[in-house]
Structure 1
Amino acid sequence: MTTLTSVPRTTPVAAPTARFRDLLASEWIKMWSLRSTSWTIALTVLFVIGSTVVATSSDAAAGSAPADFRPFDAYPPAGYWTLMLVASSIGALTVVSEYHSGLIRTTTVAVPARGSLVLAKAAVTAALWTVVGTVAATGSFLVSQALLDGQHAGVPITHPGVLRPLLASALLAPVCALVGLGLGVLIRHAAGTMVTSVFALLMLPPMFSESNRWSADIKHALVSAAWTRLIQTWEPDPGSLAYSATVPGSWAVYLLWPLLTVALAVFAVRRRDV
């Protein structure tokens, strides 16, 4: 005689939803898992500060000791254009590398909330490059003023006119990194993203002048032009025929470029397949 026993019905246990702080931790680990991240950042900071040494030493050797703070000695364009290029490239690679390797499929299966995933990448990228930009900008300022102290022309960090160029140069790195990240999500191709980033951030501004209103408006809406205006400590000549950018407008460019590119990236990943 056989006794029948009832088997308890089992219900599948759903995996807990990934919290946003878990996404941040995951993106942080993935970013530093790339071997190139640490040494690329270190070399970039060294190059930026080195370009400051060259620019300041050249002016000091020529005997052109400034009577006031000159930001183009502390923040030479060559060094900061390189910083823009590297920051946008690394920002793009945080996304493009996953598309290239196919890891993005695994990531989106584990985290169906694709918008949150992009926002986590953006938060980690912004935090990292804010630190990098702050180190580069502060180092550039301190080195330049140390060199100018030999001519009794150095100024302290509390000197009037120092804070805005310092802040603008520090924030240039995260702005460009987020632009690169947003373009990486939209284009999803390494070469296309790099070319678009270089064109928008570095090549496009010199194509426009400030002699015409429409041309000046386009130029002033670009990141590198906004940085140039923000580190400028003197006011434009009111008698000049050129259309000069404003400081509030340049800060708005700093805000809108990363905001719009990341917002478009979030919208794109929610509307299309991986």
Structure 2
Amino acid sequence: MSTLRTASPVHSAAHSAAHSPVLFADLFAAEWIKLRSLRSTFWAAAFTALFVIGSALVTALTDHSQQLIVLHDAFPPTGYLTLMLAAGSVGAITAVSEYSSGLIRTTTVAVPDRGSVVLAKAAVLAAAWTVLGTVIAAASFGLSQTALNGWHPSFPITHPHALQALVATALLGPVCALIGLGLGVLIRHSGATMATTTFTLLMLPPIFSSSTRWSADVRNAMPQTAWNRLVQDWDPSPTDTFHLIATVTGSWVTYAAWPLIAVALAVLTVRRRDV
């Protein structure tokens, strides 16, 4: 009887601990540890930052003798297409690495609510890439502005087009990272996820032309097209084929819709899937 009386409180405490709710802050901290523990995360972030900022500086120095506007030099497509690929890949790796290593089974045992795990991953990715994207965008704009100083009219950060381009560029990383995360959860295979992410973010938009309405609508609904439109420093005139050109409002909607849909589908999928 004494043995039973001694074991009962211990069993009760263990049972209570096993069923105690997990705070979202704990999940966020755990996912942050996972993200920063991946060596690929650091190298991807460092390489992306150096390449994108360097491409902005090189473009500004190359184009200083031409009548180009500083916003085009601050946010060159070559650099930011690389950022899209890096962010999407890191987002995908965040999901598929757990499936390939088998860690997902340990995670689901510790946290039965798989939807919360995906949301924590999404929150960590969004926060990390927003910070990195802001640093990259600000550095690209500042260095290109400095390089072109004295050659072309300056664009202060308070200029509507400059601020719009800066915000859109800073948010490009988290948008692509969350898309990669969603695809990673849905596909769960490293090679297939990387290929699908690359195709969706970089290769799919150029397939659709702006010559016809339906094709232009599909093209305008892509994150890459939305970013291109938001960093432009002009507005179409009434004589232009405006209905075939992405609008600023539509581009912001595209920015919001893609990551929200990707994360929502990921949450629904993991809640219906066994593992």
Check whether TM > 0.5. yes
Deviation string, structure 1 residues 44-100 (Cα, Å, up to 9, x no partner): 10100111112111111xx2244xx54221100000000000000001111110100
Number of residues of Structure 1 aligned to a counterpart in Structure 2: 267
2:153 corresponding residue in structure 1: 153
- The corresponding residue for 2:45 is 41
The residue that corresponds to 2:182 in the other structure is 182
CA offsets, 1:202-258, max 9 Å, x none? 101111111111001100110000001111110123323461111111000000000
User: What is the 5 A alignment of 1:1-274?
Assistant: 7-8=4-5, 10=8, 11-13=11-13, 14-15=16-17, 16-60=20-64, 63-66=65-68, 69-241=69-241, 243-274=244-275
Relative to the length of structure 1, the TM-score reads 0.93
Q: Which 4+ stretches in 1 moved above 4 angstroms? A: 4-7
Unaligned runs of 5+ in 2: none
Q: Which has the larger radius of gyration?
A: 1
| Matched letter for residue 248 of structure 1 | T
State the Cα distance separating 1:39 from its structure 2 match: 2.4
Matched-pair identity in %: 58
The worse-fitting range, judged by mean Cα deviation, of 218-227 and 49-58 is: 49-58
Alpha-carbon RMSD: 1.6
Pair 183,232 (structure 1): closer, same or farther in 2 beyond 3 Å? same
Higher helix share: 2
Tell me, yes or no, if the aligned pair for 1:65 and 1:153 is still in contact at 8 Å: no
TM-score by length of 2: 0.93
Aligned AA for 2:76?
P
CA contact (8 A) 2:31 2:120 kept: yes
Q: Give me the whole-angstrom Cα distance separating, in 1, the residues matched to 2:2 and 2:160.
A: 85
Instruction: Tell me the distance in 2 between the aligned counterparts of 1:105 and 1:65.
Output: 58
